[in-house]
Amino acid sequence: MTSDAANVAGLSETYSGTINPYSDRDELERLWQQPIRLFRLSNFLRQKSGRDAVSFVVNRNINFTNKCTGTCRFCSFKQRESYFLSSEQILSRAAEAEAQGATEICLQGGLAPEMKLEDYCGMLETIHRDHPKLHLHAFSPMEVMHMSRNSGVSIRQALQELKRSGLGSLPGTAAEILVDRVREQICPDKLKSRQWREIITAAHSLGIPTTSTMLFGHVESLEDRLEHLSILREIQSETGGFTEMVLLPFIPENNALGKSVSGADLLEKLKMHALARVALYPHITNIQASWTKLGRDAAAAAGTARGWRRSWQAAAPRRARWRRRTAPRGC
């Protein structure tokens, strides 16, 4: 199947089984060069996945510290003048969030050298004790590695302790691009691709779901992006533990990498969302369009659904309140 007409007319038959005929790299590279065909196919798969209505979570990010030993060149979060939020400050932010309708707290921060596993567990327990209904989405694989090293425990033990303390799910951040050659250029001190995969699969095996993410639009090639997507697809077919795919376009402001790289333009961002949907189908069908990174209009276009517009309009009052609070920060 190569022509547009065949794509539109025959897609239902093409996708009648569970095998995705477009998941091989050559076909994905061809689709990348043919945006109209790519968008049609992606939209077809979105409809086929029953995603005509788009869902969202009202959450609040609490970035408990910006102190970090990391050296990621794309980072705009780490600062020389660092802060730590106290338990009272964390609790008051959680309380404010819940009072305004949030159902989830996302906890992430820098890699502060003095932080041990018990500090991370303590934050979860403090929130969970006073706000048991809030889902706690917390700590990237890099943070899990950091706390397990600092406390001299295994990754598995660290995850078990976090779960006991109220952890609901793990952000799949710190993935960036899961190709070590690229990681050497943009985040040389971060965990390697294999380690990210080990921590994510350990979480899944313990019943801790995670998101999957990709930071794109910097030094990586299309081939690197396809390798990244194929790793995510493999993990999901083994564990089923990913809740969604979150595409994070690189933002060039206020970081070292942005001095030499300008980031993806709008068309490339939309193409990347479409390509991820095609490449990950049917393993991951929930593709997140991050409005805090894309902006309102681009996020609506990336969602590509009438239902998205309805959800967007219905959520307007709450969205205004959360506008400055939902951009993911930290590791």
- The site for ligand SF4 (CB under 6 A) is made up of 68, 70, 72, 75, 77-78, 110-111, 142, 330-331
DSSP assignment of 251-271 equals --TTSSGGGT-----HHHHHH
Q: Whole-number minimum distance, CB 110 to ligand SF4, in Å?
A: 4
Q: Please, which residue, 128 or 190, has the CB nearer to ligand SF4?
A: 190
Please return the burial class of 170, using the count of CB atoms within 10 Å of its CB with bins 0-12, 13-18 and 19+. buried
CA 328 to chain centre: 9
Q: Please, which residue, 23 or 140, has the CB nearer to ligand SF4?
A: 140
Going by C-beta distance under 8 Å and a sequence separation of 6 or more, which residues neighbour residue 29? 222, 226
Distance CA 106, CA 5 (A): 44
Q: Please, which residue, 279 or 331, has the CB nearer to ligand SF4?
A: 331
SS3 284: coil
Q: Whole-number minimum distance, CB 167 to ligand SF4, in Å?
A: 19
Q: Please, which residue, 3 or 82, has the CB nearer to ligand SF4?
A: 82
Q: Whole-number minimum distance, CB 217 to ligand SF4, in Å?
A: 16
Distance CA 292, CA 279 (A): 24
Q: Whole-number minimum distance, CB 143 to ligand SF4, in Å?
A: 8
Going by C-beta distance under 8 Å and a sequence separation of 6 or more, which residues neighbour residue 276? 214, 229, 245, 247, 287
Q: Whole-number minimum distance, CB 72 to ligand SF4, in Å?
A: 3
Q: Whole-number minimum distance, CB 174 to ligand SF4, in Å?
A: 7
SS3 246: strand
Q: Please, which residue, 183 or 233, has the CB nearer to ligand SF4?
A: 183
Q: Please, which residue, 125 or 198, has the CB nearer to ligand SF4?
A: 198
